[in-house]
Amino acid sequence: MLQNMSTAFIRTLREDPADAEVPSHKLLVRAGYIRRTAPGIYTWLPLGLRTLRKIETVVREEMDAMGGQEVHFPALLPADPYKATNRWAEYGPTLFTLNDRKGGDYLLAPTHEEMFTLLVKDMYSSYKDLPLCLYQIQTKYRDEARPRAGLIRGREFVMKDSYSFDMDDDALEVSYRKHRDTYQRIFTRLGLDHVIVNAMAGAMGGSHSEEFLFPSPIGEDTFVKSDAGYAANAEAVTTVVPEPRDASNEPPMRLVDTPNTPTIDSLVALLNERYPREDGRDWEAADTLKHLVFALIHPDGERELLVVGIPGDRDADMKRLEASVAPCEVEMATDKDFETHPELIRGYIGTSAIGPNSPLRTIDENGEAIGSVRYLVDPRVVEGTSWVTGGDESLKHAIHVVMGRDFQVDGTIEAAEVREGDPAPDGSGPLHLARGIEIGHIFALGRKYAESLGLTVLDENGKSRVVTMGSYGVGVSRVMAALAEANHDDNGLCWPINVAPFHVQVLATGKKDDVFTAAQELSVLLDSMGIEVLYDDRRKVSAGVKFADSELLGVPFTVVVGRDFECDGTVEIRDRRSGERTIVPFEEASETVRDLVKNALSEVANR
């Protein structure tokens, strides 16, 4: 492969695009790999497409090696299968939906569980056909609420999705482990650092799942690790629940005046000044229970208010809350929400106006609690714990409010932030926090999809059995952004050789014809050796611009044919990553470069 720069469909930019905040987004646009078409939607330019294809090749080779068989589904799909599993509703506004000319409902698929399930149902009927693993590398559509960071969160993106089909749980576990191992090999071959963490199954349903995260400060996921090996997405961390407390010595609940206390800190200060604790210790933020009001939007569009009680020394974590209430969406309650619930005194919400404590609460004919706003608390709010809460009256708070004695709740919810040093749920010590980008996700789905779509096969005894499934995704286009995050410096990209769009860039600098003739000759020779060459043959472009472009593009090796060649017949070989420069006679250049490329390729192949 030999591409001349003078005719290449590449335009580099000196300035960062205005909407780009993270390095991968800036550099992929500036170096001419991708171009924005609409928010979260990108056009693949020749350089970008070459890199994407190479990432796909690594994924494809590993999927084939584990016995996966590749298929390819349309992105445009009929709605019925998604209605049958209820995901048509559960995906909510994230689903891109459309109508055909006859008014039929269609969607652009966000993921393909339904279609794979139906395909196997269509073609297979016996236990003898299983296990089976099918995969595709295909374009997905999600109308993300916050598309960001270029390829990292797109509304159109490339995913490798695979699906396993097995007779029983043990066999599913084997398929799951095989995928887990395959993903480790894929990310290792790509040289991408990764951490495997427990995850929430989310809208996908199913029993257990793990995520592969690329650790990065720009990641949207927070994950935790304990020194003894526990690792989880913060969304999936369950709070260690304290033992119930004996509150028999706790003073009675009491309403106190608390003017000018807009913050927890000011409230705590006022309490210590005016209402010191009987036991001699100071009031602390952790003694307070703040009541946050959220609106849940159910998949059917119903809006429900929810009060969440969180210890005052912690913030709410919206992602943990979202994961806890999925498939509902959640937002802060609005002024209008408060107008429809005058019993909620803003800033002073206590326990008496909400949940089971409210006089508005009744039970309907279906046995469901109605009337008052649902009230869920952090799992640390156990029987016998004592809190400072709002007083359900303006400018008042209640102190010594004891769970079980003075109030009841509708349940608990994981909505509070996880903090550095919190105990790991498995008892393996304090947790450390870091951020990461989710590059892969594996789910042991179980029978949810097979059941709702009727995927059964006959077992050895001729009895009909529901198939059990797994579903597994790699964000291929997101992986390209993660690789750019991991492989760049101030001057541009610097790709690992197995995903770089070219192996070598040959630069002809200066004005002399014989320099260009020699550079051309070298490029042709390298091409004939099977090396992918981008030859910067541009006349009237300064050496400075050529060097800058070459660093921006991030091709692993650069050969400069220029002034040295004219003086003493040598060329310079530069290693983009190490910055190392080697001078060799022109006659030796092709073989030296060939060896460098071959060594680099075999090094990554043996990782």
Tokens of 66: 């584990």
Among 51, 111, 357, 505, binds ligand ATP (CB under 6 A): 111
Q: Judged by CB under 6 A, which of 26, 194, 478, 538 binds ligand ATP?
A: 478
CB of 482 to ligand ATP, least distance (A): 9
- Shortest spacing between CB 40 and ligand ATP, in angstroms: 7
* Contact characters 123-142, ligand ATP, x per CB under 6 A: -------------------x
Q: Which does 210 bind (CB under 5 to 8 A by kind): ligand ATP, Mg ion, none?
A: none
Q: How far is the CB of 439 from ligand ATP (least distance, A)?
A: 5
Residue 186 vs 264, nearer CB to Mg ion: 186
Closer residue to ligand ATP (CB): 108 or 159: 159
Query: Site size for Mg ion, by CB under 5 A?
Result: 1
Among 126, 217, 86, CA closest to 467: 126
32 touches which of Mg ion, ligand ATP, none (CB within 5 to 8 A by kind)? none
Q: How far is the CB of 154 from ligand ATP (least distance, A)?
A: 4
Residue number with CB closer to ligand ATP (200 or 373): 200
Binds Mg ion (CB under 5 A): choice among 54, 178, 314, 441: 441
**468 SS3 class:** strand
One residue of 473, 492, 501, 554 binding ligand ATP per CB under 6 A: 473
Q: Between 457 and 499, whose beta carbon lies closer to ligand ATP? A: 499
Residue 131, preceding peptide bond in cis (omega within 30° of 0)? yes
Quote the CA–CA distance of 555 and 299 in Å, as a whole number: 47
**Could you give the CA distance from residue 294 to residue 447 in angstroms, rounded to a whole number?**
33
Name the segment binding Mg ion (CB under 5 A); options: 52-60, 221-229, 260-268, 437-445: 437-445
Q: How far is CA 415 from CA 146, 237, 238, in A?
A: 21, 10, 10
Render 2-23 in DSSP notation, one character per residue.
Answer: EEEGGGSS----SSPPTT--SH
- C-alpha distances out from residue 416 to 80, 243, 292, 376, 379, Å: 38, 19, 11, 12, 9
Q: Are 69 and 134 in contact (CB under 8 A)?
A: yes
Contacts 24+ apart (CB under 8 A), 101-104: 104/78, 104/79
The CA distances from residue 96 to 36, 166, 215, 472, in Å, are 19, 31, 30, 22
Q: Encoding tokens for residue 496? A: 């690992």
CA distances from 199 to 7, 202, 208, 237 (A): 47, 9, 8, 9
Backbone angles phi, psi at 272, to 5 degrees: -65, -30
Range 444-463, binding Mg ion (CB under 5 A): none
Q: Which stretch binds ligand ATP (CB under 6 A): 16-24, 46-54, 288-296, 437-445?
A: 437-445
Q: In terms of CB distance, is 127 or 163 closer to ligand ATP? A: 163
Between residues 5 and 231, which has the closer beta carbon with respect to ligand ATP?
231
Query: What is the smallest separation between the CB atom of 202 and ligand ATP, expressed in angstroms?
Result: 6
Contact residue for ligand ATP among 87, 441, 546, 574 (CB under 6 A): 441
Name residue 555's amino acid: V
Q: How far is the CB of 436 from Mg ion (least distance, A)?
A: 12
Nearer to ligand ATP, 442 or 453 (CB): 442
Closest CA to 5 of 50, 51, 42, 47: 47
x/- binding map, residues 141-160, to ligand ATP, per CB under 6 A?
-x-x--------xx--x-x-
Tell me, what DSSP letter sits at residue 496?
Answer: -
- The SS3 of residue 451 is helix
Q: Which helix H or strand E contains 387, and what residues bound it?
A: strand 386-390
Does 438 bind ligand ATP (CB under 6 A)? Our answer is yes
Give the nearer residue to Mg ion in terms of CB position, either 58 or 213. Answer: 213
- Binder to ligand ATP among 150, 311, 440, 492 (CB under 6 A)? 440
Q: In what order do the strands lie in the sheet with 374-377?
A: 329-332, 289-297, 303-311, 374-377, 411-412
Cβ closer to ligand ATP: 115 or 399? 115
User: Residues, the chain, total?
Assistant: 607
Give the residues across from 507 on adjacent strands. Answer: 536, 560
Minimal distance in Å, beta carbon 197 to ligand ATP?
12
Scan residues 184-223 and list those touching ligand ATP (CB under 6 A).
none
Q: Which stretch binds Mg ion (CB under 5 A): 45-53, 133-141, 316-324, 436-444?
A: 436-444
Q: How would you list the strands of the sheet with 396-402, edge to edge?
A: 254-257, 396-402, 386-390
What's the alpha-carbon Rg for the chain, to the nearest Å? 30
Residue 286 is given by DSSP the state: G
**Closest CB to Mg ion among 139 and 491?**
139
440 binds, among Mg ion, ligand ATP, none (CB under 5 to 8 A by kind): ligand ATP
Positive or negative torsion for Cα 24, 28, 30, 36: negative
The count of residues interacting with ligand ATP (CB under 6 A) is 15
Q: What residues from 309 to 348 belong to the interface with ligand ATP (CB under 6 A)?
A: none
Give the residues lining the site for Mg ion (CB under 5 A): 441
Give the residues lining the site for ligand ATP (CB under 6 A): 111, 142, 144, 153-154, 157, 159, 438-441, 473, 475, 477-478
